[in-house]
Amino acid sequence: MDSPAAREAAFLTEVTQGHPFKVTFPAASIFGHPFTYKVGTTDRGYGSLEEFVEHAIVIERSLVADAIDAGARYVQFDFPLYPYLVDPTWIERFEERGNRIGDLVERALAADRAVLEGIPDDVTTALHICRGNYRSSWMCEGSLEPVAERVFGTLPYDAFLVEWDDLGRDGGFDPVRYLRPGSVMVMGLVATKSGGLEDEDELVRKLDQAATLAGGMGRLALSPQCGFASVMVGNQITEDVQWRKLELVGRLADRVWGSD
């Protein structure tokens, strides 16, 4: 079986000459999206959504292991199911199809925990809680508060990358208080969907606010809210602004955590 991530990891291992890099996979819980299983299509190969998710996790574990064998030491899992499970519109859709949100949360947690099995301790693992990133639009909104204690407090990831570029859409920082010991909360405060450049002092204020909840600035990091182009067409933002935003992240990181 071809392993694209392993090919990418081998290439990056060669060209980065010891510098860190990240390899990204889909979060295992997104396989359990209730709309994934389609009668007439998915049931040709799998008797249930649960059977499909179990097999998908087995495949993903194998692909992750290939990437690690090829040199990856930082593995990120993207777009777990949780943003759907706090969005009122999606909750209504799921419940109309007979799904209990509590059951979906439990299955999502189990999947995101199971996919980590077999990853060596010296490999950093991260979970990016994305809300969608297509042509400067999004798919989910709502505070993570209903699931935060279970996600940030129990899932054994080294880092959680969370989108907080729009607090009106994403909710406040209160969920940060559940961050488990030993993990880092990567604050996605710099928007990749819009061209406006964030105010540096305002970002520091937001980081200070989150640090009081996390137990100190040392438990936080800063990043863009998501990628600049989750699909080929990208977001409605120029290349020049993208570079300016990345420079802002680097400059602010030096200011808050030091340049050493």
Q: Is residue 135 part of a domain?
A: no
- 111 plus 200 within the same structural domain: no
> Do 238 and 187 share a domain, yes or no?
yes
CATH number of the domain that 236 lies in? Answer: 3.20.20.210
Residue that has been written with the tokens 């009668």 in this structure? 39
pLDDT for 46: 94
Number of domains in the chain: 2
Structural domain contains residue 89? yes
In terms of domains, do 170 and 113 share one? Answer: no
254: burial class by Cβ within 10 Å (0-12, 13-18, 19+)? exposed
pTM: 0.93
Q: For 29-74, how does the pLDDT look when each residue is reduced to its tens digit (9 = 90+)? A: 999 999 998 888 998 999 999 999 999 999 999 999 999 999 999 9
Q: Which domain holds residue 183?
A: 145-260
CA atoms within 13 A on the CB side of 10: 9
Q: Where are the alpha helices (DSSP H) in the chain?
A: 4-16, 49-69, 82-85, 88-96, 101-114, 145-154, 167-170, 200-214, 239-257
- pLDDT surpassing 70 at residue 259: no
- Mean residue pLDDT across the chain: 91
Q: Are 213 and 176 in contact (CB under 8 A)?
A: yes
The Cα 208–Cα 38 span in angstroms is: 46
Question: Are residues 25 and 107 located together in one domain of the fold?
Answer: yes
Indicate if 120 and 159 belong to the same structural domain: no
In this structure, is residue 136 part of a structural domain?
A: no
Whole-angstrom Cα distance, residue 77 to residue 75? 7
Could you tell me if residue 208 is inside a domain?
yes
Given a cut of 90, whether residue 181 has pLDDT beyond it is yes
Distance CA 240, CA 194 (A): 13
259 burial level (CB within 10 Å; 0-12, 13-18, 19+): exposed
Residue percentage of the chain with pLDDT more than 70: 95
Task: Kindly state whether residues 151 and 121 are assigned to the same domain.
Answer: no
Choosing from 68, 98, 129, the residue where a domain stops is 129
- Residues 185, 91 share a domain: no
Stretch 207-215: mean pLDDT:
97
d(CA 66, CA 155): 23
Per-residue pLDDT reduced to its tens digit, 70-101:
999 999 999 999 999 999 999 999 999 999 99
Q: Same domain for 244 and 216?
A: yes
Domain stop point among 95, 129, 163 = 129
- Above 90 in pLDDT, residue 234? no
- The gap between the terminal CA atoms of the chain, to the nearest Å, is 42
Based on the domain organization, do 100 and 149 belong to the same domain?
A: no
- Answer yes or no: do 199 and 117 share one domain: no
The answer to the question of residue 9 being in a domain is: no
Residue 229, helix vs strand vs coil: coil
pLDDT tens sequence across 137-158: 567 889 999 999 999 999 999 9
Q: Clarify whether residues 226 and 125 are in a common domain.
A: no
pLDDT at 250 exceeding the cut of 80? yes
Is 239 within a domain? yes
Look at residues 61, 94, 129 and tell me which one is the last residue of a structural domain. Answer: 129
Same domain for 258 and 151: yes
